Structure 1
Amino acid sequence: MFYEPSKGHGLPHDPFKAIVAPRPIGWISSIGRDGSLNLAPYSYFNAFSANPFLVWFSSGGEKDSATFTAETGEFVANLVGRDHAEKMNLTSVNAPRGTNEFDYAGLEMVPSQMVKPPRVAGVPAALECKVTEIFRPKMLDGSDSGAVVVAGEVVGIFIDDAFLTDGLFDMVKAGNVSRLGYMDYSAISETFVMRRPRWEKD
């Protein structure tokens, strides 16, 4: 089949998010100017530079995560391991502005080293970030898409030593959780290795 998104797909559910999958989850903790805390999962999240380390997440409108990071210029991207999947889902609740999702989901906080927002206690890893840019992508006709993209430079990285195996971060042991389409998620249970080929002329 082929369809134009503006004209509909004719399927029971839109397949777009299932096609662009799996997507890593940025479990974003942030703090407002008044000290209010927020914790929310974003599946429109990824790293986009390795030198320096840069990550971004996209918020569908001016939600607390986007608002708080704009106010204070900092956030933490917590890694969702399999053991935290259900708690992460709890923090996706559409709660009133200013709700502390740490409390709502029964999660403990641990102070960060380089930024003010805390990380989630017990996560396998966390990226402490300072905001470098916030922008609003436009649609083809030049109108506002409604998305707010927050980019940040990683200034500190926490790794729980329990998830290091022979000096490597063990994604299988952590069970990194990703978002799929519909209501589906996946957790890493196996990996395989492929080396980048070396160009050789005849």
Structure 2
Amino acid sequence: MRNYDPADPEVHMHSLLNAVVLPRPIAWVGSRTVDGVDNVAPHSYFTISSLNPPIVQFTSIGTKDTLRNVRQTREFTVSLANRELMAQINISSAPVPPQVSEFDITGLTRRSSVKVDAPSVAESPVSIECQLFDTMEFAGGDVVVFGEVVWVRVDEDCLIDGYPDVELLAPLSRLGGPFWGDVGTISTMTRPTAEEAMHTGGT
């Protein structure tokens, strides 16, 4: 085993953690400036924080346009990043000036939200509307943004028996370096009861 010490200046922890913590779902975050400029940008440090209340979180690596907008307006959306929109997702990651809308440079369509003013991506099969719940800033300047989910929309074409189907959603993930992933092989396994687990004998 090769060992890596975060205190070693020769170790690039950003690249290392990105290469081993994977796959990472992508929050394609929509926000709006106080002047009305619409922003959409991908953030690959993204997960569910809580179910009651429903909270999702993403991390801003440093202070970027999305973080500034969310702090000022206290709301945002998350659109599902899927295989069909991979090129636009990548383009929307470019560090363009805040007065430039990624919707315009990607050709994406703005979708008005139900509960918040921030737009989502109309071409995406899922949109999650959030109001800012809290933020946590670390010493290095990275900020975790927690959003309370106030509305969710899912494309009817991606539902089977009223439930979102992962193959129809075709979500993307980020891997290390320039690599991206999709759902790949899907396996089915049910969670065992405590009794079943204790009688498996480790097999």
Structures share fold, TM-score greater than 0.5: yes
| 1:149–1:14 CA distance, 2 compared to 1 (3 A) | closer
Q: 1:86-105 maps to which residues of 2 (within 5 A)?
A: 86-105=87-106
Structure 2 Cα separation of the partners of residues 14 and 81 of structure 1: 23
Letter in 1 for 2:143: V
140, 143, 165: which one aligns with 1:145:
140
Could you tell me which residue of structure 1 aligns to residue 16 of structure 2?
15
**Equivalent residue number for residue 157 of structure 1:** 152
Report the counterpart of residue 180 of structure 2 in structure 1.
185
Number of paired residues? Answer: 194
Give TM-score, length-normalised by structure 2: 0.90
For 1:113, the equivalent position in structure 2 comes to 114
Q: Does 1:173 align with 2:168?
A: yes
Q: What is the Cα-based RMSD across aligned positions, in Å? A: 1.7
Give the distance between the partners of 1:129 and 1:191, measured in 2 at CA: 29
Structure 2, unpaired ranges of 5+? none
Q: Is 1:27 matched with 2:22?
A: no
Distance 1:68 1:110 in 2: 18
Does the CA contact (< 8 Å) of 1:64 and 1:98 recur in 2?
Answer: no
Q: Distance in 1 between matches of 2:99 and 2:65?
A: 7
CA distance in 1, matches of 2:176, 2:76: 26
Return the alpha-carbon distance in structure 2 between the equivalents of residues 123 and 189 of structure 1. Answer: 20
Q: Match of 2:192?
A: 197
Identity of aligned residues (%): 36
Find the residue that maps to 1:5 and give its secondary structure: coil
Aligned residue type for 2:54: F
Deviations 1:80-118 (A, max 9, x none): 111011110000001112220000111111111111011
Helix, strand or coil at the partner of 1:15:
helix
Equivalent residue letter for 1:129: C
Structure 1 gaps, min length 5: 138-143
Moved over 6 A (4+): none
| Deviation of the 1:24 alpha carbon | 0.5
Q: For the residues of structure 2 that align with 1:93 and 1:9, how far apart are their CA atoms?
A: 26
Match of 1:122 in 2: 123
Contact 2:108 2:123 in 1 (8 A): no
CA distance in structure 1 between the aligned counterparts of 2:66 and 2:4, rounded to whole angstroms: 33
> Which residue number corresponds to residue 61 of structure 1?
62
